[in-house]
Structure 1
Amino acid sequence: MSSTSTPSPYLPVREDWLARRSEPILDPALPIIDPHHHLWERSDWRYMLDDLLADTNSGHNIVGTVFVQCRSMHRASGPEAFRPVGETEFVNGVAAMSASGGYGPSRICAGIVGHVDLRNGDQSRQVLEAHIRAGGGRFRGIRHITAYDPDPTLMNPAYAPPPQLMYDETFRNGFACLAPLNLSFDAWLYHPQIADVTALAQAFPGTPICLNHVGGPLAIGSYAGKRAEILAEWSKSIRELAACPNVVVKLGGMAMRINGWDFHTKAEPPSSQELAAAWKPYVETCIEAFGATRCMFESNFPVDKGSYGYAAFWNACKILARDASTAEKTALFSGTAARFYRLEI
């Protein structure tokens, strides 16, 4: 990699390192829907059904999952706008394999979140309808990544959104196609852009929106060494967004390179107690602002797998929810996800 290259947004997964951490599973009977994971086969990284099952079968009671777009298995030909439909076709096949019961009781990919380039405006409806047909009754909505920062070292080279894309008229024309088709929108961006989601949610109060990864608090590049200051800014934006009743938030996805934690640099993987302590301010703020019925824990695997194992992650979530009521725990671990993604598990 040259000195001018953008660093990889992903931390490498080291199975031998992850194997150094083993913990007893907390509350193993608690039903969990993992509402955010990926599947892919890339030249340097494979994470397919068998890999996911190795994680979901690590001790927690994972009753179902939701796949979220990641540029996996796009069609190689045909109109550019329709190529992401290949991802839905692929994932629906995986979901059908799981629904056969031959891979265990968990309903893998029970919900599918695909991608449509909303910059196609009104024509987005045709692509959405193609996803619905390809999804076998499992297609629930889309994610159009808008994560942008002037610092190029914070950008994922696979995506190049312009600033303030959510305010673009053509993008909003495409966004307007979601609600009539009973589809939702997953928003992935960085914490300085949370106000963009608030404006979008206010403009489209009838469209369900899910903020991914607690809104992407940054802690590297120009944001390095400012965690307390950024936490205050982020908290204010989160509370303002929570005033929009059509928005829910995913609690997780905080172990990417951009989040600035150093878990991956240690000799041993972090314990669930360490993870819970690091994430407590973010998780508690979201639950206080949105309420448990509008929050859902998410793994963001395999992206976050560079920092910790699947079992330790869910143990950390259970530690963070230790003082919650039974009803609140149900919402955080399965209920909110089931309602937002319209899952019957």
Structure 2
Amino acid sequence: MKKRFEGRDEPIVEPELAIIDAHHHMFDRPAARYLMHEIAADVALGHDIRATVYVESHAMMRADGPEALRPVGETEFANGIAAMSASGDYGRCRVNAGIVSFADLALGAAVGETLDAHAVAGGGRFRGIRQVTLYSRNPEPYRYMFAPPPPGVMTAATFREGFAELGPRGLTFDAAVFHTQLDEVMALADAFPDTTIVLDHMGFPLAMGMDEGGRAGIFAEWSATLREVARRGNIVTKVGGLGMPFWGFGFDGRDEVVTSDALAAAWRPYVETGIEVFGPDRCMMESNFPADGHSCGYVPLWNALKKITAGCSAQDKAALYSGTAARVYGLDVDLG
């Protein structure tokens, strides 16, 4: 994440635009640290981040106890950070106002115990589950995954049994897939029409290592499938994650500082397609930090997204940057 600190001197675009960062991570690992002080420092750079949604990254899981309950340690950790933020000592932003945790839905109906334990540990902030199911025959993407999943997770009967435990509890499911797996997301949405599925990062069109022609082919394939996904009214999407190397933009390998103009030029077709297909009321903007720090800094990332959406109405911007996230995750955030 060598580029995470780049572009901090860029002027803030639309500094008055209130934002709920709908997707970020926190952890303390030998190769990377992103905790309260780090996110507070990024927020203090000038974008008006009012609140954030914490999304699991297998951080601070319990070291012992029943295997199924070990992920609850991450909710305890995220809620502790939220309590620090709620003190106001780190600024106005309410970090981890919503918490999306991990539970192994392949446990079947037994996962209900894990979900209920998350709810207790979350102190009213627990909102849903993410179970990463990214799968590719190409081994290259796995270099960037902390806990690569096995293939076929979402198609297993026991996974659906576990998924059925979410809806009655009012919980969402964050789906992390490549575009080649979007049919599995659609099948899940059709089977559980009353459960909200949040498609992370617009369903990652996987184009690593491809030339311009190859990326164009993937874009056409992805955009056509995304339109089919959007026909399912219980699916919403997060617009972001564009700093990850999966997209094939190559910013992670550049030596020069990556500006918001460069990001906006590359990201525009994808961002505009996602918003056009789902509509602002089903899109929420995200930083995916610090993971997107592979390609750019926090300031140019939000500047790029704002430049791409500059032509949107004030009402649509309010939905994209805060309203959809507040509604989907049930966040009570001061946006005035």
Which bracket does the TM-score occupy, shorter chain normalised?
A: over 0.9
Quote the residue 1:139 is aligned against: 126
2:99 to 104, 107, 112: 112
Extract unaligned runs of 5+ from structure 1. 1-11
1:66 to 53, 66, 76: 53
8 A contact 1:219–1:225 mirrored in 2: no
Displacement, 1:224?
A: 8.5
Q: Separation in 2 of the partners of 1:223 and 1:183?
A: 40
Quote the residue 1:43 is aligned against: 30
Q: Secondary structure at the match of 2:223?
A: helix
More off after superposition, 218-227 vs 231-240: 218-227
Quote the residue 1:9 is aligned against: none
Extract unaligned runs of 5+ from structure 2. none
Quote the residue 2:327 is aligned against: 339
- Are residues 1:25 and 2:12 paired? yes
- For residues 256-298 of structure 1, the C-alpha deviation after alignment (integer angstroms, 9 at most, x for no partner) is 1222222233343221121111111111111111101000110
- For residues 179-227 of structure 1, the C-alpha deviation after alignment (integer angstroms, 9 at most, x for no partner) is 0001000000111011111111111010011101111111125898610
Q: Secondary structure at the match of 1:232?
A: helix
More off after superposition, 121-130 vs 158-167: 158-167
- Are residues 1:56 and 2:43 paired? yes
- Are residues 1:101 and 2:88 paired? yes
Query: How many equivalent residue pairs?
Result: 332
Quote the residue 2:166 is aligned against: 178
Quote the residue 2:67 is aligned against: 80
- Are residues 1:150 and 2:108 paired? no
State TM-score, norm by structure 2.
0.95
Displacement, 1:151?
A: 1.7
- For residues 114-138 of structure 1, the C-alpha deviation after alignment (integer angstroms, 9 at most, x for no partner) is 0000110000111000000000000
Displacement, 1:14?
A: 4.6
State TM-score, norm by structure 1.
0.93
Quote the residue 1:6 is aligned against: none
1:162 to 136, 139, 150: 150
Q: Secondary structure at the match of 1:159?
A: coil
Displacement, 1:160?
A: 3.6
List 4+ stretches of structure 1 deviating above 6 A. none
Change (3 A) 1:157 1:67: closer
- For residues 289-336 of structure 1, the C-alpha deviation after alignment (integer angstroms, 9 at most, x for no partner) is 110100011000000112111111111111111111111000000000
- For residues 143-182 of structure 1, the C-alpha deviation after alignment (integer angstroms, 9 at most, x for no partner) is 0010001122222553343333212110000000000001
Change (3 A) 1:205 1:277: same
Q: What percent of counterpart residues are identical?
A: 51
- Are residues 1:13 and 2:2 paired? yes
Quote the residue 2:190 is aligned against: 202
Displacement, 1:19?
A: 4.2
Displacement, 1:74?
A: 0.2
Q: Separation in 2 of the partners of 1:154 and 1:108?
A: 29
8 A contact 1:269–1:307 mirrored in 2: no
Displacement, 1:13?
A: 2.3
The amino acid across from 2:324 in the alignment is: T
Q: Separation in 1 of the partners of 2:99 and 2:145?
A: 24
1:297 to 271, 274, 285: 285
More off after superposition, 315-324 vs 157-166: 157-166
Q: Secondary structure at the match of 2:293?
A: helix
Q: Secondary structure at the match of 2:132?
A: coil
Q: CA RMSD in A?
A: 1.5
The amino acid across from 2:140 in the alignment is: T
8 A contact 2:209–2:248 mirrored in 1: no
- Are residues 1:317 and 2:305 paired? yes
